[in-house]
Amino acid sequence: MINNTRGLVYMGKAEHEKSVAAYQEVMKLAEGKNDPKLNDVLSKTYGNLGGVYFQLGQMDKALETTKKCLALSETIKDTTDIALNHLRLAMIYNTTDQLDDGIHHLSEARLFFKNLNNKAMLVHAENGLGKNFEKKGELEKAFSHYNTAHEIAKDLGQQEEYISTLLAMANIKLAQSQITESKNYAEDALAYAKKNGFANSEKQAYDLLYRIALTNKQTKQA
């Protein structure tokens, strides 16, 4: 539908009100028709509209629209969209600090991505679970998910994810007062970042190694 295309164009130009209006026109035409072709268009419209509401910070509307998108993608049995909608819902819940709900939807997304053998998105889901469990203070679970994401990223040759998960694991080990392991992960991240020209990751690694050195000094003085 032309209004769906218009909505995407307006999204790209950050003209959010026009984008919402375009998507709402699609909804007027497609909702309640129970037409397979229209359902596919409507599913994409819900997904895009939820993204606009998210960008606008209207989380209640983003949540409502994305739930509709998930339900419709389940009706038409589009497993890739189902997985992506679980990720979208997790993002909304995480933004509003509803971490348990975020974990639920990340776990659902992870299962779908495993079945789809979509390892690139599986890295994203595992990393997200690591972050949520870290925020909840469940460090062993956080480390497990970061480590899984790290191993998949390594297999895929995803350099940035490979480094970011090394840094995440180093942070977990530091929080657990496992200084040697933390330092090893941070040094690996630093070496890899310098080798591949990731300046931001290099800075993060240096900052982390400085924190590790301070913690180690304080531990020895105690």
Span 28-53, pLDDT tens digits: 777 777 777 778 888 888 898 999 99
Amino acid 11: pLDDT: 67
Residue 220 has pLDDT above 50, yes or no: yes
163 neighbors 201 (Cβ within 8 angstroms):
yes
Mean pLDDT on 57-73: 95
Amino acid 3: pLDDT: 56
Give CA–CA dist 76/84, Å, rounded.
14
Look up residue 97 and give its DSSP letter.
T
Q: How far apart are the first and last CA of the chain?
A: 68
Amino acid 222: pLDDT: 44
Amino acid 134: pLDDT: 98
- Which one has a higher pLDDT value, 19 or 115? 115
> Using alpha carbons only, how large is the chain's radius of gyration in Å?
21
62 neighbors 92 (Cβ within 8 angstroms):
yes
How would residue 216 be classed by pLDDT, with cut points 50, 70 and 90?
confident
pLDDT in tens, 119-165: 999 999 999 999 999 999 999 999 999 999 999 999 998 889 999 99
Which candidate, 94, 158, 84, places its Cα nearest to that of 123?
A: 158
Helix (H, G, I), strand (E, B) or coil at 155: helix
Give CA–CA dist 201/197, Å, rounded.
9
Give CA–CA dist 205/31, Å, rounded.
50
pLDDT in tens, 178-207: 999 999 999 999 999 999 999 999 999 999
Give CA–CA dist 86/92, Å, rounded.
10
Domain 158-222, architecture per CATH: Up-down Bundle (1.20)
Amino acid 200: pLDDT: 96
What residue ranges do the domains of the chain occupy? Answer: 1-59, 158-222
Residue 219 has pLDDT above 80, yes or no: no
Residue 221 has pLDDT above 70, yes or no: no
Give CA–CA dist 102/30, Å, rounded.
30
Amino acid 59: pLDDT: 97
Q: What is the pTM of this model?
A: 0.88
